Chain A
Amino acid sequence: MHQDTRFGLDKKTQLLGPVQLDSGAQFAPVECAYETYGALNADKSNAILICHALTGDQYLASNHPVTGKAGWWTRMVGPGKPIDPARHCIISINVLGSCMGSSGPASIDPVTGAPYAMAFPVITIADMVRAQALLLNHLGIETLEAVVGGSMGGMQALSWAALYPERVRSAVIIASTARHSAQNIAFHEVGRQAIMADPRWNNGAYYGHEAPSAGLAVARMAAHITYLSEAGLTEKFGRRLQNRDAKSFGFDADFQVESYLRHQGLSFVDRFDANSYLYITRAMDYFDLAEPHDGILAKAFAGTKTRFCLISFDSDWLYPTAESRRIVHALNAAGAAASFVELSSPFGHDAFLLEAPEMNRIVDGFLRAGESR
């Protein structure tokens, strides 16, 4: 059989666009890096789009080209998993603004022949979704069986359901929110300031020179704390010292938790672009799904036929259960078919990326029920 080259691993395509951005600007052309797993069925009804989080990418279920590590959600996606290439055509797209092949500040601006850097337009979550919709057009997929995402991926899944309700039969939103809170914005601002305070940042024009790795590492360290729970950190590190028997009375990484965070920061800078971090955190901070609907979230879902499944984790203080409940309240008010459960986990926000059998059981049942309709 003739192989459709639009589908498969490590794909990249240029979409003509333009994408009409929330800022008022238009963006074109749109480079789009993505992967697909599993075959599209004859009536094109088994496509599932999985949206990645802030520092995620399209390498959902295949080895990462930079780190060599396994895909970031192999616990949810793979043979015998709730999202299974044997049953589903799974699509994973690097978001607009990122740095793994889709258009972002590190991409070459065709007008100047140099990287966009800060000339890249400020984008929103909805803009990311609009670009993804262009790619689905390119793949010939009109309707998605489901859009699934955790954290910022959940924001995209919500935006998909709000922007293209007729294209989304089911949406799974895990550990996410319909708006960034003041606290969420505050943490992101710390990260951005760390990057911009690094002299190597040079107003974003560091391509071809040393990258602002120190600033980006600090941004990652601060953010990483928000992905874990206090109890989780205590259990993992407590006050234990790192490779030493006594405090050094200096500013080395005396404590294991310091050493761990430094490692998280350092390993992050090898695979992520500092300017992308600025742009994507900005997009998240601008996210408030109710804003274009007079502040009434239910209006974002008025008349929707999409089925929704929301999952939160009790130890997640970044996007706490109350935020998921707020979405559920709006969905109930809109008369949407919605399921919601708060699961128990000691691992904080990151719980959705870890082993969570109950989460898998719920997602599996929810998707199968949609398939049998």
Chain B
Amino acid sequence: MTALRSDLAIIAREVRANARILDVGCGDGLLLAALRDTKDADARGMELDARDVATAVARGLSVVQGDADTDLADYPDGSFDYAILSQTLQTTKRPDLVLDHLVRVGRQAFVSFPNFAQWRMRLAHMFGGRMPVTEQLPHTWYDTPNIHHVTIDDFRSFLNERNIRIEGQWFLSGDKPRNERFANLLAEHAVFLLRRD
């Protein structure tokens, strides 16, 4: 089996066995397949790209073609143990509404995103005077799907405003875990486990 991306590996490790899971923006279903095979999860997915959906369904997963911005509203409250939004938040039109739905549909929610305040980004801005193009965010400004960049501190303050509780947080530099200290400056990636209060 293909090794999971490091943020997905954290999520795959942390979910309880036998949980009902919705992965929003599940791509071709790599994480869902891993959760099904290793955690006996009842794993469902939503994905915008038809080709990815076809691949995921051909893998035997239950995946619907849909848009996080519009189609999460159809799911009843608490219909999943976990709702997962990995590397998708920054591509949505209204990340605030998507997050509201995420913590409504899932009793808990995993959210992972690239941290736009990581020092390399800051340097690119400060000294390059250009929009950062990095390994994590390889797109140029005009063709990027990432339309709502967010930093770890932005995200935390948003959660605070919305009364969403942090029940777990993990930070990554490359594939390596790092601690919470100066995460907003040093972490390339963050993974949060959330619950609506």
Contacts and interface: CB of A to CB of B under 8 A. Distances in A.
B54 A344 contact: no
Interface residues of A, number: 26
A342 B62 contact: no
Q: Which secondary structure dominates chain B's binding surface? A: mixed
B64 A340 contact: yes
B64 A328 contact: yes
A333 B75 CA distance: 5
B65 A340 contact: yes
A342 B50 contact: yes
B44 interface: yes
B70 to A, nearest CB: 10
A335 B54 CA distance: 21
Contact of B60 (A335, A341, A369): A369
A343 B50 CA distance: 7
B43 to A, nearest CB: 10
Contacts of B59: 365, 369
A362 B57 contact: yes
Contact of A366 (B42, B57, B64, B76): B57
Contacts of A358: 54
Contact of A339 (B42, B62, B71, B76): B62
Contacts of B44: 337-338
Contact of B74 (A329, A339, A368): A329
Contacts of B57: 309, 339, 341, 362, 365-366
B134 interface: no
Interface in B74-130: 74-76, 79
Given A358-B54, A362-B54, A365-B60, A341 B65 contact: yes
A307 interface: yes
A344 B44 CA distance: 23
Given A335-B79, A344-B50, A307 B62 contact: yes
A338 B53 contact: no
Contacts of A372: 60
A369 B56 CA distance: 11
A361 interface: yes
Contacts of A361: 54, 58
Contacts of A329: 71, 74
Contacts of A20: none
Residue in B56, B57, B63, B71 with the greatest tally of chain A CB atoms within 10 Å: B57
A258 interface: no
Given A341-B54, A342-B50, A366 B79 contact: no
B135 to A, nearest CB: 31
Given A365-B57, A366-B57, A339 B64 contact: yes
B50 A339 contact: no
Nearest to B44: A337
B61 interface: yes
B19 to A, nearest CB: 14
Contacts of A341: 50, 53-54, 57, 63-65
Contact of B76 (A333, A337, A343): A333
B50 A332 contact: no
A328 B53 CA distance: 14
A189 interface: no
A338 B44 CA distance: 8
A323 interface: no
A355 B59 CA distance: 21
A364 interface: yes
A209 B60 CA distance: 54
B77 to A, nearest CB: 11
A366 B74 CA distance: 23
A309 B57 CA distance: 9
Interface of B: 42, 44, 50, 53-54, 56-66, 71, 74-76, 79
29 contacts: A307-B62, A309-B57, A325-B66, A328-B64, A332-B64, A332-B75, A333-B75, A338-B62, A339-B57, A339-B64, A340-B53, A340-B63, A340-B64, A340-B65, A341-B53, A341-B64, A342-B65, A343-B50, A343-B54, A344-B50, A358-B54, A361-B54, A362-B57, A362-B58, A365-B57, A365-B58, A365-B60, A369-B60, A372-B60
Given A361-B58, A364-B58, A366-B60, 16 more contacts: A328-B66, A332-B64, A333-B74, A333-B76, A335-B79, A337-B44, A339-B63, A339-B64, A340-B65, A340-B66, A341-B57, A343-B50, A361-B54, A362-B54, A365-B57, A372-B60
**Would you list the 3 A-B pairs with minimal beta carbon distance, nearest first?**
A369-B60, A365-B58, A340-B64
